[in-house]
A = this chain, B = another copy of it.
Amino acid sequence: MSFDEVMRLAQQRGFFFKSAESYPNAPAGFLDYGPLGVALRGRLIELWRRTVVKRDGMLEIDGSQILPKAVFEASGHLASFTDPFVRCAKCGSVFRPDKLVEEKSGKAVPEKLGDADYDSLMEKSGVKCLKCGSKLSGTSRFNMMFRVGIGPSNEEAYLRPETCQSIFVDFPLLFKTQRVKLPIGIAQVGRSFRNEIAPRQGLIRLRELNQAEVEVFFNPKRLDAPRFEWAQHESLFFRRPDGTDTRMSIADAIAKGFVPNRLVGYYLVLMAKFYEAAGILPDNLRFRILTEEDRAFYSKAAFDLEVKLSVGWLELVACNYRGDYDLGGHAKVSGTDFKVDDAGEKVLPHVFELSMGVDRSVYSVMESSMTGEGDRRAMALKPYLAPVQTCVFPLVNKDGLQDVAMAVYDDLRERLDVFYDESGSIGRRYARADEAGVPFCVTLDYDTLKDKTVTLRSRDTRQQERVAVASLAEKLVALTSYPRISTKASTA
């Protein structure tokens, strides 16, 4: 299915849709999650907690979204978190120069150019205002943080552009109060805000987005992860800087210099395991190795975890070895000591970051799960990710079948997320359930009244079996439980 078809399905079934849609001219880049989307996203985050956060013994925090100006002086966002833009001298429309040139020339414009570079590219390709055809201004810079003013004195503060700054700022307090040792991962799920100049519709580039980030703090002299033994033989799919793809074990990737050390390798494996458990095929998950010029100046190594979709390869997770850039910056601006004790040595920890885009991940899981052709399409979500785990259908709405069906429904929904549907043919009800990703359907018929059994139908196999009402809940709970993720050092 194409991106547009999945997005249409998402809207029709209430997974997610444009925010404030009832209002004409509501701004782009904002999204509301409906009931199925809230549930799918919640389960995906729970899977991430189980496979990444809890498996590794990380801490999870939730910091405020508004942070004072000084935090973003330290992080560098105040000075550098900018996008280039140009303005039409006549109608005032605003555009990104790189996007204008790319659309006109059909060629990619490199990232991180200077304003003069954009101006000369625009000159060369002869771009004009897309709305009225008039001349455009020279390139200016727009800071993508949303500014807010606190209190009547309008104290300068910003909505965070990434969740991780709270993790850095709180690190000394957390290290002390949580009685942990290096290496320690600290995780956070939440909203971030980026005032994009031209957000696309849908989930790819939002002004308000959900992130799930992990910052692993470690002593740069000790580059081993506690459970590396388990990870070393796992193979991952890399895109080399020369544009070729290769599958390598982590041990090999380290030996060949593609992965800088065992700690980084371990965490790349953790992220891959998460997406595989979410139903994305290993061959559709790729770690793009960033070259030095693609990376930020402080970055020592970086990988984009990408997923293969109908729109091409899409970045889901930025994996970035940030050195001591973050803790050093906050130590300097705040005047607080960010060094901690590691086996008797005072160290300013280095950071390896796993920054996941949640909205994109939700979309990717949905698109990657779509099966079937034409009218008979199904969203083959893993049962533990399905927003609705089972539907309950009375075959007909008479002869007391409804009452029995409602009793089964009430019983099941004590332990599962269940939807009751009594309208339309059974075939139509199965089709609706398949499309919403429901893995199992329970149908009650006249035999149910006689022998207290129901038909249990699987979305993926389309097989039907007769199950006793008495054992139905137990069976469905087992079929829809999260996989057990071993926490042992040496096993998966």
Contact = CB atoms under 8 A, between A and B. Distances in A.
B173 A17 contact: yes
B146 A32 contact: no
A22 B173 contact: yes
Interface stretch (A190-198, A268-276, A285-293): A190-198
A148 B150 contact: no
B169 A23 contact: yes
Contact of A20 (B68, B87, B149): B68
Size range of the interface on A?
35 or more
Interface stretch (A258-266, A302-310, A479-487): A479-487
A183 B87 CA distance: 50
A484 B413 CA distance: 10
A65 interface: yes
Contact of A166 (B11, B19, B150): B19
Nearest to A62: B33
A148 B151 contact: no
A117 interface: no
Contacts of A29: 150
Nearest to A93: B153
Contacts of A207: 66, 150
A43 interface: no
Interface stretch (A53-61, A229-237, A448-456): A53-61
Contact of A193 (B66, B195, B334): B66
Interface string A146-190: 111111110101010000001001101110011100000000000
B148 A27 contact: no
A8 to B, nearest CB: 12
Contact of A22 (B39, B85, B172, B417): B172
A35 B178 contact: yes
Nearest to A26: B68
A381 B131 CA distance: 61
Interface in A11-26: 11-14, 17, 19-26
A166 B172 CA distance: 37
A373 interface: no
Interface centre among A64, A67, A157 (most CB of B within 10 A): A64
A150 B35 contact: no
A173 B195 CA distance: 27
Contacts of A457: none
A484 B473 CA distance: 13
Nearest to A148: B146
Interface string A191-219: 10101110000000001100000000000
Contacts of A423: 179
B23 A177 contact: no
A35 B178 CA distance: 8
Contacts of A13: 177
A71 interface: yes
A410 interface: yes
Contacts of A151: 27, 94, 195-197
A55 to B, nearest CB: 9
A290 B207 CA distance: 40
A488 to B, nearest CB: 6
A243 B20 CA distance: 42
A336 interface: yes
Contacts of A61: 32-35, 38
A46 to B, nearest CB: 10
B64 A32 contact: yes
Nearest to A57: B413
A330 interface: yes
A414 interface: yes
A67 B208 CA distance: 11
A169 B195 CA distance: 23
Given A166-B32, A410-B487, A19 B336 contact: no
6 contacts: A19-B166, A23-B169, A30-B64, A54-B413, A66-B207, A179-B421
Given A30-B67, A66-B208, 7 more contacts: A22-B169, A34-B178, A65-B65, A65-B191, A87-B152, A410-B487, A415-B484
